[in-house]
Amino acid sequence: MTECQPVTAQLPSGPVRGVRGDDGLLLFRGVRYGTAERFQPPRPAEPRSDAALPGPICPQLSSRLEAAMGPPRDEAPQSEDCLHLAVATSALTGARPVLVWLHGGGFLSGGGTLPWYDGGRLAADGDVVVVSVNYRLGAFGYLVHEGVSEGNLGLADQMLALQWVRDNIAAFGGDPANVTVFGQSAGALSTLALLSNPDSRSLIRRAIVQSSPDPAIIQERATALEIGRYFVDAVGGDPMTASVDQLLAAQQRTLRWNAAKDPTSTRPPFGLVDLEVRLSDPLPDLMIGYTTQECEAFAIGVPDAGIRQAIADQTDPLFGRPARDLAQQYGAYSYEFDWAPERGGYGAIHCLELPFLLGTPESWRGSPMLGDTSWAEVERIGAQMRLWWTEFARSGSPGWGGASIRIGNSLPALENMR
């Protein structure tokens, strides 16, 4: 997309510049919403006036799902000063539904401002405002160690981003009273945690939970402390003053140590700690779903056939069954994403629905999980999915009829799951 001219949003704290694309969409790719010292809770920050370029993402190692998704097309800058978000909107006036995206990556990798998660197609197709959030990851966001970090800092970042949305989204043509949080994988589990906290629950009207792992994987504090002790020993010095490279090297050692204890486990060593997922009245409008072969993504490249199969066999107990149980418990709309490429790819694996909702043709070009699928085929399914997602954000119902649906290769002849 060719960018034609600058555009300015007038926030309560001052002007923020973005760009207007040649399709008329307004993009603010690097809006600062907070700041934080290392291992400290976040606090609000004055936004930078120029948000035309993406903000940096949290320092991180390569994604464990790079073999499935491919590497990001553009190498994003990394910095501990990463509390930025991106906004896509069609106009700065009006009161459109707002969708706030929380990316996945096992609490270890990713960033809302990456091109994969560009919200332009979603914003344009559904006439909504899309906000994509960076938050702290790995040890930077989820270390638990006495006297260093209490954990769940990445979750605190997300809560601060929702407060920013409440206070500022009207300046981007959004309705702060109609906010849908939608997240995938770690972002989906984060969404459930935010809904379980009264302080953040009041900021959310609706939620879409995509491929959340079973909330039972949330670590107990004792386990997180054990991991934290290993990590700090691996740093070999004071984690408060160690370099970013030293912290990432210690994180890599911690990942290997943790994986050696159970090669079939998909649970990352850093993540949510000591939290209970329990939604209370008034319940939000909910939509919950998963992909048919989620865990095949984590088995790619594993040399041992027995371990590969053990990982793949976790799809239903780790993703499918918890999603169905949550949908039934809370009366949510539910879906199973069963589309798969006809040639190449790995089946309907974890993350496969993402190109249908977010990103650009360029950002997903060559993604191994799409196989030889043309972008026209992605758009054939994706255009309908984006309408379902944005209609849910607008009204609380995706409009597909019935409570549940299977999304496969045969659109528009969709199979209802009764």
pLDDT number for residue 189 = 98
Residues 90, 109, 185, 334: which is the catalytic one? Answer: 185
Domain that holds residue 85: 3-416
- Which tens digits make up the pLDDT trace of 173-210? 999 999 999 999 999 999 999 999 999 999 999 999 99
Residues 350, 353, 367, 404: which is the catalytic one? Answer: 350
Annotated active-site residue 145? The verdict is no
Annotated active-site residue 37? The verdict is no
pLDDT band at 410 (very low <50, low <70, confident <90, very high): confident
207: domain CATH number? 3.40.50.1820
Instruction: Give the pLDDT mean for 119-141.
Output: 97
pLDDT number for residue 289 = 98
Higher confidence at residue 73 or residue 348?
348
Q: Nearest-CA neighbor of 272 among 229, 218, 321, 223?
A: 218
Structural domain count, the chain:
1
The answer to whether residue 166 scores a pLDDT higher than 70 is yes
- Distance separating alpha carbons of residues 232 and 246, to the nearest angstrom: 11
How far is CA 13 from each of CA 42, 93, 201, 406, rounded to the nearest angstrom? 18, 18, 25, 45
Instruction: Give the pLDDT mean for 352-363.
Output: 97
Annotated active-site residue 294? The verdict is yes
The answer to whether residue 417 scores a pLDDT higher than 70 is no
The answer to whether residue 125 scores a pLDDT higher than 90 is yes
Instruction: Give the pLDDT mean for 338-349.
Output: 96
- CB hemisphere CA count around 189 (13 angstroms): 25
**Predicted model pTM:** 0.96
Length of the chain: 418
Residues 150, 294, 336, 353: which is the catalytic one? Answer: 294
Left if phi > 0, otherwise alpha if psi is -120 to 50, otherwise beta: which for 45?
Answer: beta
